[in-house]
Amino acid sequence: GAVVSQHPSRVICKSGTSVKIECRSLDFQATTMFWYRQFPKKSLMLMATSNEGSKATYEQGVEKDKFLINHASLTLSTLTVTSAHPEDSSFYICSANRQIGETQYFGPGTRLLVL
Amino acid sequence: SQQGEEDPQALSIQEGENATMNCSYKTSINNLQWYRQNSGRGLVHLILIRSNEREKHSGRLRVTLDTSKKSSSLLITASRAADTASYFCATDARQAGTALIFGKGTTLSVSS
């Protein structure tokens, strides 16, 4: 089956630093990937749609300068949390699907803790 | 934004019992998917049901979809302690191929 990986799985950083999270589709090409954020005991909230070769589409209320997305290849999207603050601490999950309208596969998530 | 609501928000049952979770959504959909998430972990895809389907089975899982009521249900039969997890429904509420919008989830606890 399709596999999506994320790296790192867990990261702790100091306030003010930037953190990069990678999302890779391991056995298929994904022109579109999605980034979600999940706070404890809450559901997943869509942050942005990452489009290969073009700018990401951000959901309302998500700062594009804060959460930089780069989709440089058909198998890799990166999310950079810039100048991270404690309120950015969360579980970040990416997803992708093989074909439009089909099952979306999720990465294992990255837990970010900003001190 | 959240697409829908699951109910109940929390469900506690004994092993062997059936667990039913419901999901409602607001807009027209192409398909609806159910996912499972163990505490602090990633999502596991359970089942996808298309808007032109009414019922689907996978092992001990049974999913129904009522597009007229904009609702779906997930039934887990003969539950096991290992089924303890959070369950989410998600819909692709816009053009096909775009992101999933998740419901708030149901936390299922199965005790042995």
Q: Hey, which residues does A23 pair with through a beta bridge? A: A6, A77
From CA A110, how far away is CA B23, in angstroms rounded?
A: 27
Question: Does the pLDDT at position B95 exceed 70?
Answer: no
- Tokens representing A60 are 């309302």
Q: What confidence tens digit (pLDDT) does each residue in B15-31 have?
A: 999 999 999 998 888 88
Q: How confident is the model at residue B58 (pLDDT cuts 50, 70, 90)?
A: very high
From CA A88, how far away is CA A82, in angstroms rounded?
A: 10
- The answer to whether the Cβ–Cβ distance between B103 and A32 falls below 8 Å is no
Contact residues on chain A for B31, CB-CB shorter than 8 A: 101
Pairing mode, strands B55-58 and B61-66: antiparallel
- The answer to whether the Cβ–Cβ distance between B104 and A103 falls below 8 Å is no
Question: Does the pLDDT at position B34 exceed 80?
Answer: yes
